[in-house]
């Protein structure tokens, strides 16, 4: 059992750190694989003892003798010997998986430390859920034979004459005996950009650029790529050119160059190279300099030396705490005196419990995990023991940029390509999550290591008073009834923050006492700037001396597998319109009166249920079982409310749009199929000409959705035109998107009426306030303890590897 009410780091047993991005996989990629490898066990033990001491001091008694608050309900994060169905792969299972796979001679697998582009190697592996019917049947029995545990493994077969990508399902865990082919026809060209490939590419183009254009770079941008001291330039970002965009059957990427200071993403320079990654020598195909394209470095340098092109000169920034791109404190200091900010506490300790990856809170039960390829996922969500949702989870994060330069123009990103699960890490108590939160680990199998990589702070779970009443009413006068009743809105939040180079995405799953679930996404981080160009004002404003902030569209796909009173569900809309009728109470006998009405519209096929928002036809979206109605004969339903809708403006079937066909709809409802598990894949960055998962095909068969197992595919997005206040970092206000699942005629009344948190104030004698009043509910004097201290600062000062790469 582990009670981590405060952050207390464990000894780090990770062999490597899971940092791997298609944007920032520069020469340091192989250093990622060495992260944590050199941590000394002895120093780890000393740090743990130190932190235990800190926590004990904070948890026992304070200086004034007041006892610390109770820790509350139990938290057990130990790895289960017999993991539940939805639990991520355990270390025992991963070891058995790897032992089995490396014994399969036909796979010809290479160990992580020896992989190259031409190797056969494991890119990632994660939990593969059994068929839903088997899982639901087992959960309904509550006992008996559990469906076998399985892993989905992605292998890059660079060793074959016809290179390809294989996806296998390996079973049973923890001691596999066989595997089956899940997918075996994925073109090798579709693979995500990986460590072996990227490291070699950056090494090659850095050497060629430095040899041929060192003086050009020094004179134009004040720095060089090597032997540069404090004025280093670096290739730090890539923009893909899929076959659909380039018209060439080649694997092409634009490599950006930056001045390397904090934070480099705000210091792009107008120099980039287009690299042919299919060429074993990583040939430079095109060069971009000062708003012009050149066929090669040789041509550029020759024209530069011959003064046949406009030259540019940008000084290298002087690193200081006042530099606009840094996040050091500056500006007008507030408050005038040093005062601590407000904090939230748990006066009676945790009101939720955790066992492994299963959470219980009030009337809620659910399982969670961190998918390596898709990020945070929840399963078997129940309220008052009724399953509401079988599966709800992030599918894809896409960002499409606009701009005049090829680097911005072709920056159409699908973040699953960088394995977004390992992006969630290093949550900081007191900022990313309240100090009283419970911090939860996640483990991943990646190309850099044969063992699991465990991240201790991948999730945080906490109960939080939003400061907004969940309900309230005040009847101040006797003819109103003379009472006050209200309920503070305390919610349970499971949070992860996925940082993909410059942007961070907060993903919250929020549970209300009313039986409602909210899924929220909030964007923050550094904008992807472009070198300032005067004639590109229609793509973005100038936000600093040398950069523009370019228009871009953040887009998110979520899967919501609803199970309302079972798996045989229907989907209907309540279509709101107006109706006109005679107004018999008007002196004009011909007068009319117009008011709103709604009409029930049952959706029978998948095409009917593909929804594009129209302000002229507002709707309620309801999911229900035709077998369950309330006492008034109305179906017990759940309503899906999307408050993050965004229209994707690009034309269909052009460029990279087909890879994000899910964004054509604000919501689509389909019949659940085992071979339609996700709306996107890790191959989307390169496969837009012929997507591995073509979401439009989910709808093309136009299947019946009446009394079927239904999945709602929810899309959200926000258009962002950066402005000066986005410097240094985009703030969260105005960047939040969310959708809700809300009970709708499901309960006879608000299920939160039973909450002990409610407060009621009323006269001692009914409707007679002069008789005095009585109040029931929690009061401030009930708090007679002190909350635990936040020991994170001492922890990270003692062991920087908690937050940073120290290898």
Which residues are identified as catalytic? 415, 503
Q: Is 125 exposed, middle or buried (0-12, 13-18, 19+ CB in 10 A)?
A: buried
Query: Contact at 8 Å (CB) between 336 and 243?
Result: no
Read out DSSP for 521-568? EEEEE---EEE--GGGTTTEEEEETTEEEE-EEEEEEEEEEE-SSSS-
Q: Is the peptide bond before 550 cis (omega within 30 degrees of 0)?
A: no
Distance CA 596, CA 366 (A): 39
Query: What residue spans of 312-413 are helical by DSSP H?
Result: 406-409
Contact by Cβ (8 Å): 399, 553 = yes
Q: How far is CA 589 from the centre of its chain?
A: 60
Name the strand (E) or helix (H) holding 463.
Answer: strand 453-475
Helix-strand-coil split of the chain, %, nearest 5 = 20, 40, 45
What is the C-alpha to C-alpha distance for residues 432 and 495, in angstroms, rounded to an integer?
9
Residues β-bridged to residue 492: 463, 511
Name the H helices within 607-674: none
Whether 668 contacts 698, CB under 8 Å: yes
Question: CA 678 from chain center: how many Å?
Answer: 15
Q: Which residues pair with 669 in a beta bridge?
A: 712
Residues 6+ apart with CB under 8 A from 510: 491, 492, 493, 517, 518, 519, 520
Would residue 84 be called left, alpha or beta, if left means φ above 0 and alpha means ψ between -120 and 50 degrees? Answer: beta
| Residue (of 405, 135, 458, 130) closest to 286 by Cα position | 405
Q: Is 665 exposed, middle or buried (0-12, 13-18, 19+ CB in 10 A)?
A: buried
Instruction: Report the distance separating Cα 720 and Cα 117, nearest Å.
Output: 37
Question: How far is the C-alpha of 130 from the C-alpha of 75, rounded, in Å?
Answer: 27
Please say whether the beta carbons of 275 and 296 come within 8 A.
Answer: no
| Burial of 594: CB neighbours in 10 Å, binned 0-12, 13-18, 19+ | exposed
Q: Residue with structure tokens 């047993």?
A: 13
Helices 297-305 and 195-221, packing angle to 10 deg:
10
Distances (CA, A) of 158 to 165, 167, 199, 332, 375: 8, 14, 16, 56, 27
Q: Is 688 exposed, middle or buried (0-12, 13-18, 19+ CB in 10 A)?
A: buried
Judge contact between 190 and 181, C-beta under 8 A. no
Report yes or no: 193 and 124 within 8 Å, Cβ to Cβ. no
Our CA angle for 395, 396, 400, nearest 5°, is 160
Angle at 200 between CA 194 and CA 206, to 5 degrees: 125
Cα separation, 165 vs 393, in Å, equals 25
488 Cβ neighbours under 8 A, 6+ residues apart: 465, 469, 470, 757, 759
Q: Compute φ and ψ for 471, nearest 5 degrees.
A: -155, 160
């Amino acid at each position: 059992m582990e009670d981590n009410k405060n952050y207390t780091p464990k000894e780090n047993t990770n062999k490597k750190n899971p940092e791997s991005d298609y944007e920032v996989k520069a020469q340091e990629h192989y250093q990622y694989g060495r992260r944590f490898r050199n941590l000394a066990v002895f120093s780890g033990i000393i740090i743990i003892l130190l932190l235990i001491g800190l926590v004990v001091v904070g948890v026992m008694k304070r200086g004034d003798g007041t006892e610390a608050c109770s820790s509350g309900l139990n938290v057990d994060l130990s790895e289960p010997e017999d993991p539940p169905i939805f639990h991520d792969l355990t270390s025992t299972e991963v070891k058995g998986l790897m032992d089995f796979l490396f014994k399969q001679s036909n796979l010809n697998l290479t160990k992580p430390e020896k992989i190259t582009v031409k190797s056969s190697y494991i890119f990632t592996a994660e939990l593969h859920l059994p068929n839903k019917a088997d899982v639901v049947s087992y959960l309904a029995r509550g006992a008996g034979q559990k469906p076998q545990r399985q892993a989905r493994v992605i292998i890059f077969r660079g060793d074959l004459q016809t290179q390809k990508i294989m996806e296998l399902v390996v079973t049973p865990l923890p001691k596999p005996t066989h595997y089956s082919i899940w997918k075996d026809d994925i073109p090798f060209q579709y693979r995500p950009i990986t460590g072996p490939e990227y490291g070699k590419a950056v090494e090659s183009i850095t050497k060629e650029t430095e040899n041929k254009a060192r003086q050009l770079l020094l004179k134009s941008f004040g720095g060089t790529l090597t032997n540069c001291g404090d004025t280093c330039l670096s290739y730090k970002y890539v923009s893909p050119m899929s076959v659909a965009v380039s018209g060439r059957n080649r694997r092409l990427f634009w490599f950006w160059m930056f001045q390397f200071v904090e934070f480099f993403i705000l210091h792009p320079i107008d120099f980039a190279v287009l690299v042919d990654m299919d060429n074993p020598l990583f040939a430079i195909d095109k060069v971009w300099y000062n708003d012009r394209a050149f066929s090669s470095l040789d041509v550029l340098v020759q024209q530069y030396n011959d003064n046949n092109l406009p030259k540019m000169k940008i000084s290298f920034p002087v690193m200081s705490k006042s530099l606009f791109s840094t996040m050091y404190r500056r500006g007008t200091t507030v408050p005038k005196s040093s005062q601590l900010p407000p904090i939230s506490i748990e006066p009676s300790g945790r009101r939720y419990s955790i066992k492994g990856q299963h959470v219980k809170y009030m009337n809620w039960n659910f399982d969670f995990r961190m998918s390596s390829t898709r990020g945070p996922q929840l399963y078997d969500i129940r309220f008052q023991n009724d399953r509401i949702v079988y599966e709800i989870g992030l599918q894809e994060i896409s960002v499409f940029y606009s701009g005049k330069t090829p680097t911005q123009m072709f920056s159409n990103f699908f973040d699953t390509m960088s394995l977004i699960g390992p992006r969630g890490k290093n949550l900081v108590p007191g900022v990313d999550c309240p100090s009283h939160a419970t911090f939860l680990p996640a483990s991943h199998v990646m190309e850099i290591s044969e063992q699991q990589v465990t991240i201790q702070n991948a999730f945080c779970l906490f109960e939080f008073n939003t400061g907004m009443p969940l309900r309230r009413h005040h009847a101040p006068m006797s003819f109103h009834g003379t009472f006050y009743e209200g309920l503070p809105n305390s919610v349970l939040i499971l949070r992860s923050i996925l940082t993909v180079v410059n942007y961070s995405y907060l993903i919250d799953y929020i549970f209300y006492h009313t039986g409602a679930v909210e899924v929220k996404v909030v964007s923050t981080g550094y904008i992807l700037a472009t070198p300032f160009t005067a004639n590109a004002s229609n793509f973005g404003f100038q936000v600093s001396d040398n950069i523009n902030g370019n228009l871009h569209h953040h887009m998110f796909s979520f899967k919501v597998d609803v199970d309302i009173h079972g798996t045989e569900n229907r989907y209907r809309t309540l279509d709101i319109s107006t109706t006109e009728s005679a107004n018999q109470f008007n002196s004009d006998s011909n007068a009319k009166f117009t008011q709103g009405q709604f009409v029930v519209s049952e959706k029978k096929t998948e095409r009917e249920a593909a929804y594009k928002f129209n302000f002229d036809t507002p709707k309620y979206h309801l999911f229900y079982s035709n077998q369950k109605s309330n006492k008034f004969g109305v179906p017990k339903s759940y309503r899906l409310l999307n408050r993050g809708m965004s229209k994707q403006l690009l034309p269909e079937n052009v460029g990279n749009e087909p890879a994000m066909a899910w964004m054509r709809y604000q919501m689509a409802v389909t019949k659940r199929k085992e071979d339609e598990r996700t709306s996107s894949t890790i191959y989307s960055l390169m496969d837009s000409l012929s997507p591995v998962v073509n979401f439009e095909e989910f709808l093309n068969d136009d299947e019946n959705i009446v009394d079927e197992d239904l999945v709602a595919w929810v899309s959200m997005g926000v258009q962002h035109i950066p402005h000066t206040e986005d410097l240094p970092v985009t703030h969260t206000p105005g960047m939040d998107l969310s959708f809700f699942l809300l009970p709708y005629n499901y309960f006879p009344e608000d299920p939160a009426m039973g909450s002990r948190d409610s407060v009621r104030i009323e006269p001692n004698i009914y409707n007679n306030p002069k008789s005095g009043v009585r109040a029931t509910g929690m009061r401030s004097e009930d708090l007679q303890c002190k909350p635990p201290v936040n020991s994170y600062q001492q922890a990270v000062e003692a062991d920087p590897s908690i937050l940073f790469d120290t290898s």
